[in-house]
Amino acid sequence: MAERPNVIGKGPAMLREMAALCKEIVGNQNGLPADAVDQVKASMAKCLKLEPMAVRPYVKTVKGAEVIWDCKEMASQLQQAVQAGDAGKASELAAGLAEQADWLNNKISTFVVRMT
């Protein structure tokens, strides 16, 4: 993975960009076998569940933005694999992205801002 840029305060925007990328991937899966298409679609569904959470506090933290940036990079690689018709790489990236999306969904949902 490439070195992360400065992501401070960019979490919500990157989350929306990732969701847009996921929508593009869902719309363009022509060269993949059916099992790979199903896995990619399931992964994209998990990522798209994150879009409404862009306003949550965790998304605005540095760690949240870093994880979102990593997910966005994975989604970009997945898009390239799907366009190239590489089912093996697409399945591998989709599984990794689904795992990251699950972790991020849990973290965003359970994050509590403590004001002391």
Residue 4 forms part of a structural domain: no
Residue 115 forms part of a structural domain: no
Q: How many domains does the chain have?
A: 1
pLDDT digits (tens, 9 = 90+) for 55-84: 999 999 999 999 999 999 999 999 999 888
Residue 3 forms part of a structural domain: no
Q: The domain containing residue 57 runs over which residues?
A: 11-26+33-110
Higher-pLDDT residue of 106 and 30 is: 106
pLDDT value, residue 73? 94
How far apart are the C-alpha atoms of 49 and 40, rounded to whole Å?
Answer: 14
What pTM did the predictor assign?
0.87
Three-state SS letters, the chain: CCCCCCCCCCHHHHHHHHHHHHHHHHHCCCCCCHHHHHHHHHHHHHHHCCHHHHHCHHHHCHHHHHHHHHHHHHHHHHHHHHHHCCHHHHHHHHHHHHHHHHHHHHHHHHCCCCCC
Residue 116 forms part of a structural domain: no
